[in-house]
Structure 1
Amino acid sequence: MSAIWYECKVKYRKTDETGGQKVLTEPYLVDAVSYTEAEKRINEEMAAYISEEFKITNIKVANYAEIHPFENADRWFKSKVSLIAYDEESGKERKSNMYMLVQANDVREAYDNTIHVMKNTMGEYSIPAISESPIMDVFPYFSGEEEETEMLERFNALKASKPAKPDAEIVDHMEFETAEEE
């Protein structure tokens, strides 16, 4: 199950080093299954960091195929990766682009981290662009061992919302086996 990332812009008042206050609007990423859940999650996450009032000014689906955090890095970079495939019929090279969010300290490290992430890729690719992202922080749905439990809970919640199976199951085209016959 691939993650859907939502970019949420949060507006709040921040006190600087001199004691003055200024209003900032900063983008954050959250992993969620809907806009409603993204709003709920960003409210929960920001309440832990911002003691004053804040406002969510925008929520949109982010176009990141993958998010890759790295330790000892403090900024996020958007890496454009072009996957290269050859169309045998036309004999032409086709490129499909995807965007990754990679954590690093500078552009060079972002490039190296992107290469590291792509090292097991079977096909050819190129990295035509890397730029610093305005994203302040990323809030994944889960991390590490929690992933399987969380995915199972999400699956069970979806399964519970679907109608139950009928009492009879089709065994063959012409035969039915009901729960009573078992």
Structure 2
Amino acid sequence: MSVIWYECKVKYRKTHETGEQKVTTDTYLLDAVSYTEAEARITEEMKAYTNEDFRIMNIKVANFSEVHPFENSDRWFKSKVSLVALDEESGKERKTNIYLLVQANDVKEAFENTIKAMETTMGDYNIPSITESPILDVFPYFTGEEEQLEKYKVIDTASEEKVEEETEEEVVS
């Protein structure tokens, strides 16, 4: 079953670093099977996040194919990826656009993280645009099953390098 991501805009009173309270509207992303479940889930998440009253201003289906969190990153970027395929009948190239939500600290890192996210792709692709997303946080649905955790796996580059080193050592042994 494919995941449906919902963008939820929530208006609430937020205390800033200066101690000043201002009404702000923030965007969050979560996966759900319906608008009703999305509303219930964002309500629960916001209750844990703030003690203030809040209003859900908007819920809409997001057009993300995949969400890729990365450790030590604090912002979310929307990467447009054009998958290139050759149409055998006409002999022309066909492009299909997909959108990934990638966590990074800046646009350069978002580009690198998009390439990491696409490394298992067999076909050709290019990345025509990367823009910073207004999404503040992502709340994936976890059932506790290993399969669920795989779809939202935090990529830790340091541990990947360690695994590669251990694998190389096993081959040499």
Q: Given the two structures, how large is their TM-score scaled by the length of structure 2?
A: 0.82
Deviation at residue 147 of structure 1 after TM alignment:
4.8
Deviations 1:24-52 (A, max 9, x none): 11110011000000000000001101110
1:68 has 2:78 as partner: no
**Pairwise CA RMSD of aligned residues?**
1.6
**1:111-156 deviation per Cα after TM superposition (whole angstroms, max 9, x unaligned):** 111101111111100000001100000000017x535489xxxxxx
What do residues 1-44 of structure 1 show as CA deviations (whole Å, max 9, x unaligned)?
22110000000011223333211111100110000000000000
For residues 32 and 147 of structure 1, do their structure 2 counterparts lie closer, same or farther at Cα, with a shift above 3 Å needed? farther
Paired letter, 2:83: L
5+ unaligned residues in a row in structure 1: which ranges? 151-182
Aligned to 2:130: 130
Partner residue, 2:37: 37
Q: Secondary structure at the match of 1:47?
A: helix
Counterpart amino acid of residue 102 in structure 2: V
1:13-162 equivalent positions in 2, closer than 5 A: 13-142=13-142, 145-148=144-147
Q: Which has the higher helix share?
A: 2
Q: Which residue of 2 aligns with 1:178?
A: none
Secondary structure of 1:141 counterpart: coil
Residues in 1 aligned to 2:16 and 2:114: alpha-carbon distance in whole angstroms = 34
Q: Distance in 1 between matches of 2:20 and 2:113?
A: 38
CA contact (8 A) 2:142 2:148 kept: no
Cross-structure match for 2:160: none
Q: How far is 1:110 from its partner?
A: 0.6
Per-residue deviation, residues 95-116 of structure 1 (Å, max 9, x unmatched) = 0000000001111111111101
> Larger RCO: Structure 1 or Structure 2 (Cα < 8 Å, ≥ 6 residues apart)?
2
Which residue of structure 2 aligns with residue 8 of structure 1? 8
Shift of the alpha carbon at 1:88?
1.7
| 1:24 alignment partner AA | T
What SS does the aligned partner of 2:14 have?
strand
Counterpart of 2:66, as a letter, is E
> What secondary structure sits across from 1:39 in the alignment?
helix
Distance 1:96 1:148 in 2: 27
Corresponding letter in the other structure for 1:85: A
Secondary structure, counterpart of 1:3 in structure 2: coil
Q: 1:8 to 1:106 in 2, by over 3 A?
A: same
